[in-house]
A and B are shown apart, each in its own frame.
Chain A
Amino acid sequence: MIKFDNVTKKFLLGTVALNNVSFEITDNEFLFLVGPSGAGKTTVIKLILREILPSSGSIMIDDFDIASKNFSQTTVLRRNIGVVFQDFKILSDKNIFENIALGLKVMNSPLIEIKSKVKEALQLVGLSKQEEVFPVQLSAGELQRVAIARAVVGERKIILADEPTGNLDPKTAWEIMRVFKKLEGQRTIVIATHNTDIVNSFKKRVIALKEGKIIKDQRKGGYEI
């Protein structure tokens, strides 16, 4: 369970990225965060990941207030969260297998487990035959799939995806979304996007943000610009 309670995030120059935002995400829920650029979607993701701290309010993940300055389990928290970054963050000097394995290596998983789980993740994203390939040889869509594989490997409970289809053509974007669809019901999935077609066709919960405020929170919502 993720619970935002009156969360406000102000940046140094006074920009208010989130303004008194409250919502709750239950376990294994599939949710879209929508809104125009600058609405606060990425800020929500960064707050859940504890990459930044809120200026006020509390963020509960299960029983822990991760917004508290005294919270000392950041590493444990992050081991339960898989992130698909907007810029992929794929390491160019490591092959695909090594990139995905990193998600498990940081948890000190045994080598035998790493091998089997990476293979499973590669299968999930449809890149089984490319484990030895280096990122430079892959297309943007394939790189995004590698990023998803790295995020899901290691049974992370929460998957956060920041604009996972942002720079992809419609066909590839749908392929990526099909990967997320496969994970539905197994993990909590939060996807920040402004792709109206995808949001509308999935018919999942939608939280719409505008200028740091929630303007809509619908169980089977859609997205209108």
Chain B
Amino acid sequence: MKELFTSIKRAPYQTLTAFLVLFLTLFLSMILFVSLTFLHGVLGYLESRPQVTVYFQTSTPEKEIFKIRDELNNSGKVILIKYISQQEAFNIYKNINKNDPLLLEMVSADILPSSLEIYAKKPVYLPEIAEFLKKQGGVDEVQFQKDIVDRLLNLTNVLRKLSLLFFVYLLLMSTIVLTTTTLFKIALKKDEIELMRLIGASNFYIRKPFLQEGVFLGIVASLVSFIILLLIFFYLNPFLSSYLKGIPVLEIKIFDLGLKVWPINFSFLIIVFFLSSLFGCFISIISSFLATRKYLKV
């Protein structure tokens, strides 16, 4: 430990550079990881809620709507159908816009459509139910979440690919910078390394201080990034709570095991910290190996 701190003190600027680069890499990686995890959670949540909403024209009589509802109920493909009348739609509208009197003045119940919210037993029934509804008279619009799920799926795929590219960039950048700073440190200890080689030090013995320092920096950078991420998390908690109001739990599947990511879950945060530390140590170890390699030829 004493030797580790001596080495840090001996080249403080190189150590600071290595730390800042590692911190930036780990912090951005953590944010990417958490964002993707949340997106996956939302996707999973939407997939688990098969729902079709059908809006009727204002002129469609209620008995027509009830006939469609009964037909769907008898199909055996739905769990629940909820009827929202024009008056109920107006009440929802009023509740949403209670702070905006101008919007309330302009709208009355008779211009809002009545609708049916249909919860299917399986997601595969959704297109079938949507097709059925589109063929019915008096239907104005059919919305079903496959569109949203598909859009989210596309977005997640694009984000995953972009994240991967960004990850590779961060990995390369930090490895190059860390290798360079380690090379600076090696230059400072060149005589000592040369002497150690000549008196019988193994390659591992020579590498050990650089590896120790790298692992130490990796863990410290990961810890600092994690603390900042936690602070951001807690700062954004009220916003996230209201944004994800309708979603009680976000969960991702890892090898058939569900991991709760929202509301804030201790296990999830521990995993984020562990992965980040592992990533930090990996970068440091690779950089130390690359930097010391050319000095260890015997």
Measured CB to CB, the residues of A under 8 A from B are 49-51, 74-83, 89, 91, 93, 102-103, 105-108, 150
- Majority SS of interface residues in chain A? mixed
Shortest beta-carbon distance, B238 to chain A, in Å?
53
Name the residue on A nearest B10 (C-beta).
Answer: A93
Name the residue on B nearest A79 (C-beta).
Answer: B200
Q: Given A89-B191, A91-B191, A91-B192, are A83 and B205 neighbors across the interface (CB < 8 Å)? A: no
Shortest beta-carbon distance, A185 to chain B, in Å?
23
- Return chain A residues, CB-CB under 8 Å to B192: 91
- Return chain A residues, CB-CB under 8 Å to B205: 105-106, 108
Q: Given A50-B298, A74-B298, A75-B298, are A106 and B191 neighbors across the interface (CB < 8 Å)? A: no
Shortest beta-carbon distance, B190 to chain A, in Å?
11
A-facing mask of B195-209, CB < 8 A → 1, else 0?
Answer: 111111111010000
Residues 145-195 of B contacting A (Cβ, < 8 Å): 191-192, 194-195
Contact A102 B198 (CB under 8 A): no
Contact B198 A75 (CB under 8 A): no
Q: Given A91-B191, A91-B192, A108-B205, are A51 and B198 neighbors across the interface (CB < 8 Å)? A: yes
Please, how many angstroms separate the alpha-carbon atoms of A91 and B193 in the complex?
11
Contact A78 B200 (CB under 8 A): yes
Please, how many angstroms separate the alpha-carbon atoms of A102 and B196 in the complex?
8
Q: Given A75-B201, A107-B200, A108-B205, are A89 and B298 neighbors across the interface (CB < 8 Å)? A: no
- Return chain B residues, CB-CB under 8 Å to A50: 298
Residues 209-259 of B contacting A (Cβ, < 8 Å): none
Contact A106 B201 (CB under 8 A): yes
Please, how many angstroms separate the alpha-carbon atoms of A34 and B160 in the complex?
71
Contact A103 B199 (CB under 8 A): yes
Shortest beta-carbon distance, B210 to chain A, in Å?
16
Q: Which of A74, A75, A150 has the most CB of B within 10 A?
A: A75
Q: Given A89-B191, A91-B191, are A78 and B202 neighbors across the interface (CB < 8 Å)? A: no
Contacts A75-B202, A75-B203 supplied; 8 other A-B pairs, CB < 8 Å: A75-B298, A76-B200, A78-B200, A83-B199, A91-B192, A102-B196, A106-B199, A107-B200
Name the residue on B nearest A50 (C-beta).
Answer: B298
- Return chain A residues, CB-CB under 8 Å to B196: 102, 106
Name the residue on B nearest A107 (C-beta).
Answer: B200
- Return chain B residues, CB-CB under 8 Å to A80: 200
Contact B298 A106 (CB under 8 A): no
Name the residue on B nearest A77 (C-beta).
Answer: B200
- Return chain A residues, CB-CB under 8 Å to B195: 89, 91, 102
A-facing mask of B19-40, CB < 8 A → 1, else 0?
Answer: 0000000000000000000000
- Return chain B residues, CB-CB under 8 Å to A77: 200
24 A–B pairs (Cβ distance < 8 Å), ordered by A: A49-B198, A50-B298, A51-B198, A75-B200, A75-B201, A75-B202, A75-B203, A76-B200, A77-B200, A78-B198, A79-B199, A79-B200, A81-B200, A89-B191, A89-B194, A89-B195, A91-B192, A91-B195, A93-B10, A102-B195, A106-B199, A106-B200, A106-B201, A108-B205
- Return chain B residues, CB-CB under 8 Å to A81: 200
Shortest beta-carbon distance, B140 to chain A, in Å?
81
Please, how many angstroms separate the alpha-carbon atoms of A107 and B200 in the complex?
7
Shortest beta-carbon distance, A31 to chain B, in Å?
20
Contact A83 B198 (CB under 8 A): yes
